[in-house]
Each structure stands twice: as C-alpha cells, then as structure tokens.
Structure 1
C-alpha cells in the first residue's frame, strides 16, 4: 500500500546484507505470483537466485514476520493477502472487517463470571470482588485467526449477557441493543510477543510480534462500560488513525 522501505533499505555505508538482496528478489517474485500462490521452496529459490539456502531462509523469515507470506499447516508456504486494517475508533471488530469485504467471525474460548481484582475494579469503577463477566474469543477473518480478545464487563450492568448474547456475533451490537451508548474510549497500544497459550490459540509461533491493545470505554454519563485486552497478529493486522488539526 505504501511502497517499500526508504531508499530500498540501503545503509549509508552502501553495504547491503546478502539476505536483504535475496529478500528484494523474493518480494518481486511474490508480487508476480499473487495472493494464495505457492512460494517456491528454499532449495528452488537458492538455485533460482544463485544464493545459499541459509540466506534464503533468513529472507523468508523476515517476509513471514512482515506478513508478505504465510505457512499453512501441512502445506506449502503461500503468498499472503493484504493485512486487515482496523481504524482506531469506537467500533466493533465485526464492522471493521466487513467494511473491507471480508467475513468476520469469532470462536468462543470462555464466557465466565469472576470476581474483579483491584486493577479491574479501578478501571470499571466497581468494588473489588464485584462480579465481572469475562468473554474471551478468537477473532477470525474469512475463518483465519487474526487475534484474541478478552472483554471484562460489570455483571450488574449486563445481567442477561450470559443467556441472551450469541458469542459468534458483535458484542458492541448487543451492548447497544441494551440501551447503552459508547461515547469515548482510551486505548493503549504496544508490541509484545504472544505467550505459548496465545500462540497455540492463534496457530502461530511464539516469536511472532503482536499488537496489544488495552481499552476502557465509557458512556455519555462517564460510566465505564468495558475493559478490553485485544491481541492482534502483527503479520496479518495493522491499525490506522485519522488525525485532525
């Protein structure tokens, strides 16, 4: 979307690592092949470009981390499609994915009650030990895992959620249906590595960089609605913000 790295990644001294030259060649090939096409094997790429397999392996690893290619379980490496672009705004994941012509989905991991610890209670302005509803789901796009979302809500405010809410649908649509209006939110963003459990749920390696978002949302009266921890795959997801001056 935005082109390649500045000045093609050439350092001031002019010396370019061999793996980076290989990466440039492979990127050109990937662009020619198109989304979903099989990427040639390390051996084939090494022979094609006249370089060592170790050099090819390092180049391919960078392209995996960047989301240009992806590995399917039991199948060859293939060219990846465009990343999901999610605006930094008060909208649901479902709305963001649908806007890009893809099919959103969610797989339920847990929907349970638990007592609020002091940190959660502080964010939601409830008493420590008060009942919380914890909803954890795998976020999907065209059936591909994109992220893992944990949402904490005061049980007293949403007493029917466990019986009336379909975990495969938009939580924001359900909340709005109860008469609660989202007004503002604070979101903290950082990069992290997935834990072994998170990597297992998302079907990725534990060394894959992730985008971690922690959000607290409020209604127009200033009452907290939710606390959300969202973990998105760095190779398949990007964020966009519109700024005004």
Structure 2
C-alpha cells in the first residue's frame, strides 16, 4: 500500500482550514476502500510531524473523523478505520429489505410481541382512541452479525397475524404486503439523541452514545394509518441519505 504521505497533500495557501484538508482527504481514502476497516493509523504526534501540522490541528482532524464514525480510538490499540456505515436512502422500504439489497446479511432477534393499550403519540398516529389495543413489536436488527438498530412497531389489532418465526426471517413490510395490506405512503421524522443504558447494551454502544432516531407512520391506499414505527440506529454505523431537487 502506498504510504499515506504520498496520498494526502496539504495546501497552506488554501483558505480551507488545515485540519479539514487533512480530514477530508483521509475520509476520501477510507470511503474509496484504500484504507479498509481495521487499518491502524500512526499516533497523532507522529502523523502531525509527518505532515508538518501542529498537534492540535492533527487532533482536531482525527476527532472530526471519529465524530463522523469513520475512525475509532481503542485503548491499547490506537486509532483504526472502522466498518463503513450503512447508508440508507429515505425510501418506502423496510430496513430488512435495504440490508438485503446491499448484501449486508440481515438478521433479526425478536425481543417481544405483545398487545398493549395505545397511548399518546402512538394512539394519535394510528388515529385510535387512547387505550385501544395495538400489537407492539420490539426487534433488534443485525447487519453482518453486528447490531445496527432497535425497532419498535405498533399495528392496529387484528390487522395481520404474525409468528415469531416470520418476524425473525422477513421484514415487517414484506409480511404486511403478503397479508394483503397495501402500503401507499408514509410520514417520517429523523432526529438524534443519546442512548439509554438499555439501548446501549443491546446495540453494543457506550452509555450516552449518539443514536439516530426515526418515527414513521405508514398508510394504506385508503389513507388509513396501518403502522407506527419508532426506531433508533447506531450513528457510528448508520446514516440516512436523501435526494433534494429544485423545482
């Protein structure tokens, strides 16, 4: 592999901050696969000397990539390139379908399936009176044997019948379509928050790690809400993408 010094160039006459020049070029190498997951980098002091940058500048560059989920610092190991994040287009598909399409070997652990009374946002989203029974699903989704998302879904009672085996083997939307539920549109909101202790434990993250959040209300062809979803994703392994067009 060609030395890193031959593939990153710092332009001191550029108005672009030095830390960002270095970080952006290193990110390009990672995303192009030239620095595969598991690649160890020299310590920040050595790299600062190698590229003629101050140590605070190099530290800022490396932290920038740690925050983006491209590098990880591990005690006793140093700084390593981490597994590329799964990037998901905002489409009307399930996570299971997206992972299958990308060849990421989805696997599902069903944590619970129970009937509960609809409350608050769930009742409002499904247009049900509070206390109306709904089917509540909790699942842990894996990609390439790594936990990636914790999924909570709520369906109107009696909409479809599901078995634990079916939920473990297929995506929820696939099962809904097979049961004759025509999915037509959805409203969704993307956000971020800190992981709870329980979420961090299930997802293999440290307490307080940043999680991406998505809430989604799916509708059938008649405009009836047929699913309320509330999911959290590992920000270090996952990203949402969207295409914006001008009119």
Q: By the TM > 0.5 criterion, same fold? A: yes
C-alpha spacing 1:224/1:21, structure 2 compared with 1 (3 Å): closer
Report whether the alignment pairs 1:49 with 2:53: no
The residue that corresponds to 2:232 in the other structure is 231
The residue that corresponds to 1:111 in the other structure is 113
What SS does the aligned partner of 1:129 have? coil
CA contact (8 A) 2:87 2:241 kept: yes
The residue that corresponds to 2:184 in the other structure is 183
Residue correspondences, number: 231
Query: Which stretches in structure 2 are left out of the alignment for 5+ residues?
Result: 1-9
- Given candidates 148, 155, 158, the residue that maps to 1:156 is 158
CA contact (8 A) 1:65 1:209 kept: no
CA contact (8 A) 2:118 2:134 kept: yes
| 1:23, distance to aligned residue in structure 2 (A) | 5.0
| 1:91, distance to aligned residue in structure 2 (A) | 0.7
TM norm structure 2:
0.76
The residue that corresponds to 1:204 in the other structure is 205
C-alpha spacing 1:108/1:164, structure 2 compared with 1 (3 Å): closer
What SS does the aligned partner of 2:148 have? strand
| 1:142, distance to aligned residue in structure 2 (A) | 0.7
C-alpha spacing 1:135/1:89, structure 2 compared with 1 (3 Å): same
- Given candidates 66, 69, 75, the residue that maps to 1:67 is 69
The residue that corresponds to 2:174 in the other structure is 173
Q: Residues 162-217 of structure 1: CA distance to partner in whole angstroms, max 9, x if unpaired?
A: 46733342111111111001000000112222222212211112343322111000
Q: 1:124 & 1:173 partners in 2: Cα distance?
A: 20
C-alpha spacing 1:179/1:229, structure 2 compared with 1 (3 Å): same
C-alpha spacing 1:28/1:89, structure 2 compared with 1 (3 Å): closer
Moved more, 222-231 or 94-103: 94-103
Q: 1:78 & 1:15 partners in 2: Cα distance?
A: 25
C-alpha spacing 1:176/1:208, structure 2 compared with 1 (3 Å): same
| 1:68, distance to aligned residue in structure 2 (A) | 0.8
TM norm structure 1:
0.77
